[in-house]
Amino acid sequence: MLNGNENDPVNDPVNDPVKGEETLEKNLHSIYNIIKGSPSATYSDIANQLNKSIATVKRNLKKLKEFGIIKREGSDKTGRWIIMK
């Protein structure tokens, strides 16, 4: 019978907030640098440069937008990223 603590060693590495936060911070910084160097970069361009999925890039870009660091001007295809901070 499981008492709830038996799964902790298995779940701890997956749910470790420090590792997750480090990865997120690293991804956000990398995306920021790509946008800074190429404001017209598309989701696909960024994903290819980072070897990440487009979904991951979109999630990270959403965070940067929520933090007020970047914004998008124009369409996804022909628009550009604006650095706010």
Instruction: Say which residue the tokens 């914004």 belong to.
Output: 71
* Encoded tokens for 47: 């994903």
Residues 64 and 31 sit within 8 Å (Cβ to Cβ): yes
* CA-based radius of gyration for the chain: 17
What distance in Å separates the CA atoms of residue 6 and residue 19, rounded to the nearest whole number?
22
Band of the pLDDT at 20, cuts 50, 70, 90? Answer: low
Amino acid 64: pLDDT: 94
> What pTM, to 2 d.p., does this model score?
0.71
Average pLDDT score over residue span 9-36: 72
DSSP tag of 6: T
> In the beta sheet, which residues pair with residue 83?
70
The helices-and-strands tally (H runs, E runs) of the chain is 4, 2
Is pLDDT of 16 > 70? no
